[in-house]
Amino acid sequence: MTARRDFQEPPRSRPDLVIGREELFASARDQLGRGGSVLLHGPAGIGKSTVLRALAADYGGPDRTVLRCSATESESHLPFLALADLFGLVLDEVSGHLPAAQRTALESALTGRGESTLQRDGLALRLAVLSALRVLAAKGPVLVVADDLQWLDAASAELLGFAARRLGDTPVQMLSAVRTEGEEYDRHLRASPPDTLAVRLGPLTRTQVSALLDHRGYTPLSRSTIRDIHRTSGGNPLFALELGRALAESPARPRPGEPLPVPTSLRALVLSRLEMLPDEARRTLLVASAGARPTLALLRAAGREHAEAETAQAAALGLLTTDPEAPALRFAHPLISAALYAEAPAQERRAVHAALSTAASDPIERARHLALATTGTDPEVAARLAEAGALARDRGAPSVAASLGLLAARHTPADSVPGPDERRLQAAEDAITAGEADLARDIARDVLTRATVPAERVRAWMVVIEAAGQALGEVDAVFPQVLADAGDDPGLLALVHYQLAWRGLVVEGDFAEARQEAAHAADLAARGGDRRTELMALSFQASTETLMGHPDAPATVKRALKEPQDPYVACHHNGAGSARFRWLIMSDQLAEARATITALLREVRRRGMVESEVHFLRFLADTELRSGHCGRALDLARESLRLARDSGIGEGASAMLTSLAEASAGDVDRALALAREAADHAEVDGDQMYLSRALAALGYAQLVAGDPAGTVRSLRRVRELEQGLGINDPARGRWHGDLAEALVRIGEPGEAQDVIDTARVHALRLGRESVLAVLDRAEALVRAARGEHETAAVRLTSVQGRLGRLGYGLEEARAAFALARLRDRAAAQARPGGTAQPGPASYDEAARLFRRCRALPWLRQVDAAVTAGPAAVEPPSVAPPVALDALEGLASMERQVASLVMEGATNREIAGRLFISVKTVEATLTRVYRKLGIRSRVDIVRLAAGRRST
């Protein structure tokens, strides 16, 4: 397909950050840094030119000569045009160094004077191009940047290829891009040096498309719309941007069931091929574009008698892809289907849907097509759509149910029972279940502009509150209004007080208030006969009491699990099953907790409950992490984080747990960044509960990174937060042992003992065996710091056995490591002079246990201890007071950026790691300079140098 120039992105709108291409960008840059060449390839609009320009800007500095050409299809027949682009500006610089015959041939080709051709001046021209590059390279490195190689005129391509194959060690590199379909790029390597790295650009993910649209200012787009853009564009960034622009410029958004508006610029990409089809074949493709899973059988049932021959014609033109193993027809690109459908007149589309409403075998599909074939209100059509929505809900497709519900509302007469707004509210609740909070909120607010019935208004307000997620502070003004709408109806008041319980926990950070509101909501729901809300409130009360270490927690869990149960509540992430899981995992019943959460995860996936899936993936990751299955925990945590980012649900909580998993089994730098990201989310949302969890994860990551001073700062703040929240159960965050260990490392054993003693009181009262074992491990370190080595060794040996029996594999390995370090130190002190050669034997058990857990960062610590010997068993704090004091005054994002600068990261690398734009990095650094009283990133690096020298 030919990319028309009238919709190419103007250079001024190109993003500074190559969104979604960070890894391949780094790979290509490394290749150039090694002196090699790079060929970027991929389909039209995939972002090759963007990456090419970014690489050229990054690598083509003032210390090298950069030669550029960018071919076009309309000019590809003109010989030597690309050669003129490359050498036109340097001809005077090189011509005097060329032999006369070569100079004449080159000048003739570049200026058009004379009749130079490859046939007549072939050898002279070839040698002239090679010589010209060598002349330029003698003065410094040369970078040849060539875009759209597929349109390079044949003569220029031949000459470049000849020179490229003969440059040898001459410092000339090529950076080029070519449009390809599939992997057919080999022939373009002929115009590149032998050491060229071919880099294929594939489609962007939904999250990357969202980031790209956001970067370009298309921020009002909902997540469901972004999902449609991603699907229609096939992840192609140019197509996604054009679709986003068309939506932003459109006065009205497409209604449910309707396709996205496809701008003329994109339709032109495919309609030219469609024009080559006969009219009947084009109508057959239109039917296929309207179907969810079109097959030949469906097309024939919809009246397309010659479907097989007509689809074969389309496949020959590259409009359809064929797969003998798959019965469904598939368009070569989703944009083809979208453009075909958008181009068809409305009457023709309705006729297609009418045919499919009887031809489709699935009742949901039949109802959808019937709705799209019908104009105006029709109670029978509305009823069929409502039935189809209920069926989709039962099948675990709440997003489909929401779409069908909105279609049902559109066709429902105003005086019907149920009415159109009631069906809209059902659609909003389905959207919440599907994780489409923005769609749900828009529907609810639309209903509130009309609704006068208290039950409908309260129901709509509940959707608005649910859609806020953890950011309940943003909807504070809603509560007085919804209380007024609820009046004295106990059933409606129960809904409100259940949300007030969450507000008490998340916004006020008051567990006691949250517990009281939840209990009140449960009583009101029981009086109002609302069993679902009663169970949700009891489950919330049980979870709150569990985290508080309240003595009533076991009894409340039993009340929440009593029959009759509600299937929705039973598997909801805030329901009775979840409350039971929390009780099990905090009570050290890891096997039963794993079985419980695995069953819950399976059920919510079946039901399509996205938010619950995000939470349960995180819960299962937490269970595996405690069990010492660190690799499995990391995979689950990353999956939870991907889903959270795709849906915009629970991102902070998933980032927190992924930080813990990364610090245990993956990348410690990534763990630090994720913990700070989670803390930022919590601070922005005003969520004190998750702020403490995020800071606990940060403290653990800092401990693994060898920064005990940082651990102490983070976990001291956690201690203050949890005291304010009223959290007494040390099994909730399990940070107390880490704080005590870090305090010992920085020379504060007295404070460490205080932390241990305080936590032990509550752990003993609640029977938290694993917490008691971890506290004993920390106390052994205190004893060792005071010189009581034998007592400490005995205690560590006991702790290791206890943790192993309880199934806490990682904590068991940490106890073995602490014991090995203690024995190594004691052995060194026992030798003359107190020194010893590194002895790997004493660390074998710790290494074996960490290896079993796949705890790679901890295993690296073991290797470092073995290599360094006893003198380095206790690593010093990695940050000096000056640097730390300076960074303490910065906001969280500013600290993250400054820390990455200290590590030597570029602005682009920082942007990629923190999922922000380069402009945001630059603005953040400006604030850092002002706050620290410095002028540039060099001064930040000097802080880091001072830190490392201590």
Compute the average pLDDT of residues 351-366: 92
Find residue 385's DSSP bridge partners: none
What average pLDDT is seen over the chain? 84
The residue assigned the tokens 């958004």 is: 253
Averaged pLDDT for residues 913-925 = 68
Residue 509: closest CA among 651, 681, 653, 692: 692
Q: Which helix (H) or strand (E) covers residue 39, if one does?
A: strand 37-42
Give the separation between CA 658 and CA 639, rounded to whole angstroms.
9
d(CA 27, CA 172): 19
How many Å apart are CA 565 and CA 592, to the nearest integer?
Answer: 21
Sort strands 37-42 and 330-331 into parallel, antiparallel or unpaired.
unpaired
- Which of 167-176, 453-462, 541-550, 923-932 is predicted with the least confidence, judged by mean pLDDT? 923-932
| Mean pLDDT, rounded, for 882-902 | 64
Q: Detail the DSSP E strand segments found in 535-653.
A: none
Residue 536 has pLDDT above 90, yes or no: yes
pLDDT 10s digits, 392-416: 988 888 888 999 999 999 999 999 9
Tokens of 401: 């149910």
Q: Pick the more confident residue, 322 or 57.
A: 57
Tell me the sheet residues that pair with 584.
Answer: none
Residue with tokens 């919510």: 604
Spatial contact of 628 and 852, defined as CB atoms under 8 Å apart: yes
pLDDT tens per residue across span 222-275: 777 888 888 888 888 888 888 888 887 776 677 655 677 777 777 776 677 778
pLDDT score of 15: 41
> Residue 8's pLDDT is what?
37
- Residue 196's φ and ψ, nearest 5 degrees, are -75, 135
Non-local (6+) Cβ contacts of 283 within 8 A are 304
Local structure of 177: helix, strand or coil: strand
Give the pLDDT of residue 613. 92
Residues 6 or more apart whose CB falls under 8 angstroms from that of 712 comprise 699, 739, 742, 743, 746, 748
pLDDT, tens digit (0-9, with 9 covering 90-100), for 807-839: 999 999 999 999 999 988 877 666 555 444 444
The Cα–Cα gap between 764 and 491 comes to: 41
User: For position 424, what pLDDT does the model report?
Assistant: 95
CB contact burial 831-866 (16+ within 10 A = b; e otherwise): eeeeebeeeeebbeebbebbeebbbbbbbebbeebb
Name residue 322's amino acid: T
pLDDT by residue (tens digit) across 856-874? 999 999 988 888 765 444 4
Average pLDDT over residues 879-900: 60
Cis-peptide, bond into residue 881, ω within 30° of zero: no
Q: How many CB atoms lie within 10 A of CB 377?
A: 15
The pair of structure tokens assigned to 531 is 């069993």
Amino acid at residue number 315? A
Contact 458, 482 (CB under 8 A): yes
Interhelix angle 610-626/590-607, rounded to 10 degrees, is: 160
DSSP 631-698: HHHHHHHHHHHHHHHHHTSSHHHHHHHHHHHHHHHS-HHHHHHHHHHHHHHHHHHT-HHHHHHHHHHH
Which tops the pLDDT comparison, 757 or 936? 757
Express each pLDDT in 306-319 by its tens digit: 999 999 888 888 88
pLDDT tens figures, 648-680? 788 889 999 999 999 999 999 999 999 998 888
Where do we find the tokens 């729901």? Answer: 525
Instruction: Give the DSSP letter of residue 75.
Output: G
Mean pLDDT along residues 620-626 = 96
- Cα separation, 2 vs 266, whole angstroms: 11
Q: What is the largest CA-CA distance in the chain?
A: 103
Euclidean distance between CA atoms 896 and 927, whole angstroms: 13
Q: How far, in Å, CA of 464 to CA of 462, rounded?
A: 5
Phi and psi at 256, nearest 5°, equal: -55, 135
Residues forming beta bridges with residue 172, ordered by sequence position: 142
User: Which ranges of 807-917 does DSSP label H, i.e. alpha helix?
Assistant: 809-830, 844-853, 856-868, 881-888, 892-902, 907-914
Pairing state between β 172-179 and 142-147: parallel
Helices (H), 434-510: 437-448, 454-467, 478-486, 490-506
Dist CA 450 CA 844 (whole Å): 71
The pLDDT confidence band at residue 17, using thresholds 50, 70 and 90, is: low
